[in-house]
Structure 1
Amino acid sequence: MEVYGKALALAAGLLLSVAFAPAAVSSFDWKLPEGVAPPPVPIDNPMSQAKVELGRKLFYDADLSIDGTMSCATCHEQRRGFTDSNRTHPGVHGDPGKRNVQTLANAGYFRALTWGDPGVKTLEAQALIPIAGTRPVEMGFAGQEAVLAARLAGQACYRRMFGEAFPEVGGEVSMVTIAKALAAFQRTLVSFDSPYDRRRRGEAVAVSAEAERGERLFKAGCASCHAGPLFTDADKARFHRIDAPFAGDQGLGDVTGEAADAGRFRTPSLRNAALSAPYLHDGSAPTLETAIRRHRVAMRLGDRQVAELVEFLGTLTDETFVTDPRFSLPKPGCGP
């Protein structure tokens, strides 16, 4: 989901001079695995349980689309690691999607939050793009943001929840508070409990010999971009070209206008990748095998080695994350 049109103006105040509070000063209970630090949090949007619960309700509410047919969860399904099974997802008016839906797992740690625009650096700014963006139109509120605020403010449940989440502004219902609540919920979508993680913590978790060989291959040839515990360098806001530039969609080049940036895209995280087909920025790779083959560095690999890489990627599936009730569709009504 990319930043274009009026959503850019709406996001401007959230994009500039972002300051983050040290995780140590937060009293919010993240419920993270041992040894995992929480993501950074903007000073002007501290975490609270009331804010997270509001963000969760908004995330699953189709009222965030102009015709009431699409929620954030329409494209970000928990069982798929908060991705989507379509190559791209059309908007409420039938506009074709521009790019494949990326995972929200661990997005709070990222410094680049779209496939091709390094200017979108916070979840608060990104949240406004599908709601009010125009290239493409997704949820359809461009130019009608006041309609959304009035729609939510007209519901007693939301008046109560915004009041509890944002007492410092009198429970104001606005695009700013909507974005802040959505961002707070998305920061809780932390995934570090896969078999890979449990083995790293010293737990006795059996994996196949194929997966172990695949891990060695991965570290040798893939980990420079799919780096570290996030399995992406999006936390460093880096963009890469994996094969020839793509016709039409030039990725980073569409933003910078530089020929050297044509076909460069943000590295997607590989966590829960086995659940998130299809792959690549345009969803053109139906399987992990196909996606691996699209990388120049994989051209010399044999079928057995590609299969071993796929087997290793399967160990990054976090079943706890994709079934955690804290992240699922909330019950009707207000509050938890």
Structure 2
Amino acid sequence: MEINHLDNYNIELSNIWNHEKEVFLYGLQQKEKTKYVISQRENMIDLYNHAMDLCVFYGYSHLNKKQNGSVYLQFRDIYREQKRFKDLITLGWFDYKGKLYYVSQNILIDRSFEYFHFFFALKVDQYYLDVFKMDSFIGYQLEINFNWDTVSLMVFLENLIVQYDFIHKKVRKKIKSLLTAIKELPKLSSEEKNNKNNPPSNTIKRSSDNSYILIGSKTDPDYFLKHNQKFVDIFEKLKENKYIHKDTLFIHFKAIFGGGCILPENRIHWTANAVDLKACIQYLFTKSKIEKPYSGIWRITTNCFIDKNKKEFNSRRLGNAVPKPDTEYKVRKVLSRFP
């Protein structure tokens, strides 16, 4: 069995379903749990208007007798002919209230969904395959779904391991150790809290020595969260066009726009040419997407990226590079949706 997208820290319907199906078919999971996952998947159909935007069955939003006639009957009969539960799971589609559905899209499940805790439990349970990646997953969820509210996350995780017995013992142990570590963090004094919420004016300048700062985030603390899908789309386009390495993590890509310190091992592996990188950063700067750094934009770039040979860029050479018009055109196409 292959590891199922552990580097993707989002909670996605198709990712979870494919993983649950796989562990069941490999005999690593009881039928009762898989049936419960199916019931929650059906709850999503009820809540989201019969999954018109969630589940696409071979080009149809769904198949039913009235609209699709013989096509529906053909697939329905195949479904009904399956005698074993295992065969039904293997089919890949399912019958619910007289309609046939097929889970095919990566639908993000967030805290606004009533059964978020259940799908969170299913996702975090996958990390028994690689516990080392759990810290990044929990950190990502703390930002995206808990808005840095550590107390809410702690209560949520405590309830989670009580509620769901199926969570693997390795994952359960890791969650308990994380909870202990969080509880042992020193408490901030009222003065320190006030300073944290109201940083001095020179804080951003010091941070900008390490990474870029989104101009939009200076007036809206939730800027990245509100535009998260756009950043995901750009991240995927950069991979598809071979600008960044295919194994790059989204959490590291996002970090270079946070104004904080970038660890050397977390720098983005740029697989295109230096002139392409110059064109990308220059585009973001001229379009007022990123703030002018205190100590020079190309020095910041060397903090955030390494070249195709995994070596450091030379800031002076980056600054002197001259992108050609066709290079700038390609960059504009990739970054056009940058918020």
| Normalised TM-score (structure 1) | 0.29
Query: Which of these two proteins has the greater Rg computed from alpha carbons?
Result: 2
Where is the helix percentage greater, Structure 1 or Structure 2?
2
- Higher RCO, 1 vs 2 (CA within 8 Å, ≥6 residues apart): 1
| Normalised TM-score (structure 2) | 0.29
